[in-house]
């Protein structure tokens, strides 16, 4: 494990290779599971603020669920997540013309319509954040649907932490990421 400031980074985040392979998984992480994307409390007003710009990208089923249940739910542990369609598909997911799942929030962002790219939990996936007291732990969430990404990353020689540099910098800052890179380099030099 590495420690950068108040963040504990699992060895799996450093040692495993990963590059999303949408040709193979088709964005299944937006559908699989029983809850939507985990949300941080400070993201809730951001999602509310961008909804009208995102709405044109959503399916009629998603809009119906949002009208009934809202943009997000609060579970029995007090955590928030995006609403889902039939306890599966995130309400912000839609299929493109190739049959790949895409994020309506991210699409609106990429089209220059909003300034919020997507929830940090989605941007960082397959890294999951566990909040401790004042620290956070970053762990690699292994899932069968991401197996093609592991092979793709290995073939390209891209470790998970490098693949997710942009969201890691978004979350923790450029200085934090440089410290992570230095610790990885020091570890490699010590082997």
Concatenated DSSP letters for 2-19? Answer: EEETTEEE-HHHHHSB--
Among residues 153, 165, 101, 89, the alpha carbon closest in space to that of 127 is found at 165
Q: Residue 89 — very low, low, confident or very high, per pLDDT cuts 50/70/90? A: confident
Q: What is the pLDDT of residue 32?
A: 67
Q: Where are the alpha helices (DSSP H) in 111-146?
A: 120-124
pTM (2 decimals)? 0.89
* pLDDT tens digits along 139-181: 998 878 778 888 889 999 999 999 999 999 999 999 999 999 9
- Give the mean pLDDT of the chain: 91
Among residues 141, 137, 175, the alpha carbon closest in space to that of 3 is found at 137
């Amino acid at each position: 494990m590495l420690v950068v400031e108040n963040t504990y980074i699992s060895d799996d985040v450093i040692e495993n290779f990963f590059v999303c392979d949408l040709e193979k998984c088709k964005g299944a992480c937006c559908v699989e599971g029983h809850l939507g994307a985990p949300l941080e409390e400070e993201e809730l007003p951001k999602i509310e603020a961008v909804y009208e710009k995102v709405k044109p990208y959503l399916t009629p089923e998603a809009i119906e669920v949002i009208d009934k249940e809202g943009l997000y739910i609060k579970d029995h542990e007090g955590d928030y997540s995006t609403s889902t369609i039939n306890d599966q598909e995130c309400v912000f997911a839609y299929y493109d013309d190739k049959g790949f799942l895409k994020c309506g929030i991210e699409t609106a962002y990429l089209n220059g319509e909003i300034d919020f790219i997507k929830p940090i939990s989605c941007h960082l996936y397959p890294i999951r954040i566990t909040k401790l007291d004042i620290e956070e732990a970053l762990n690699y969430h292994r899932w069968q649907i991401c197996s093609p990404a592991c092979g793709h990353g290995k073939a390209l020689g891209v470790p998970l932490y490098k693949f997710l540099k942009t969201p890691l910098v978004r979350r923790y800052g450029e200085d934090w990421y440089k410290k992570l890179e230095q610790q990885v380099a020091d570890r490699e030099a010590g082997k």
